[in-house]
């Protein structure tokens, strides 16, 4: 299990809380893109996409490199592993808790 802080989880989840950032992440799943390409695919202006890219970069979900006058953005999928692990551990807990509850209810109803 990965080590992470609740602050890290909050920041990652917060970065994914905006539709435009989710659109950018989805576009980058198919490969690197320029800011202009990301703005076009997200249906937002270049200044707005720059603001959203800054949020995603700050939490490490994307990396950007300058190639001449063009900035290329790439998804950093390993950062999603932190959030996925956090969700997975909670899912496992709740599944086990519900299974225990179901068993207890079955036992209780069969006794009556």
| Domain count along the chain | 1
H or E segment to which residue 34 belongs? strand 33-34
In a domain, 70, yes or no: yes
Tokens 């995603």 found at: 56
Q: Residue 86's domain is classified under what CATH number?
A: 1.10.10.10
In a domain, 99, yes or no: yes
Inter-residue contact 56 to 64 (CB < 8 Å):
no
In a domain, 75, yes or no: yes
Q: What is the model's pLDDT at position 112?
A: 62
Q: What is the mean pLDDT of the chain?
A: 89
In a domain, 38, yes or no: yes
Length of the chain counted residue by residue: 112
- pTM, two decimals, is 0.77
In a domain, 92, yes or no: yes
Q: What is the model's pLDDT at position 99?
A: 66
Per the structure, the complete domain to which residue 96 belongs is given by 6-110
In tens, the pLDDT along 5-27 reads 889 999 999 999 999 999 999 99
- CA–CA dist 9, 6 (Å, integer): 5
In a domain, 1, yes or no: no
Q: What is the model's pLDDT at position 4?
A: 77
Band of residue 111 on the pLDDT scale cut at 50, 70, 90: low
């Amino acid at each position: 299990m990965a080590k992470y802080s609740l602050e890290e989880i909050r920041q990652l989840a917060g970065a994914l809380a905006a539709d435009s950032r989710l659109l950018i992440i989805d576009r980058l799943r198919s490969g690197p893109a320029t800011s202009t390409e990301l703005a076009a695919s997200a249906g937002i202006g270049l200044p707005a996409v720059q603001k959203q890219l800054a949020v995603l970069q700050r939490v490490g979900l994307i990396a950007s490199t300058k190639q001449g006058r063009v900035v290329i953005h790439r998804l950093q999928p390993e950062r999603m592993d932190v959030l996925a692990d956090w969700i997975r551990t909670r899912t496992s807990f709740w599944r086990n808790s519900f299974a225990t509850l179901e068993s207890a209810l079955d036992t209780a109803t069969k006794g009556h």
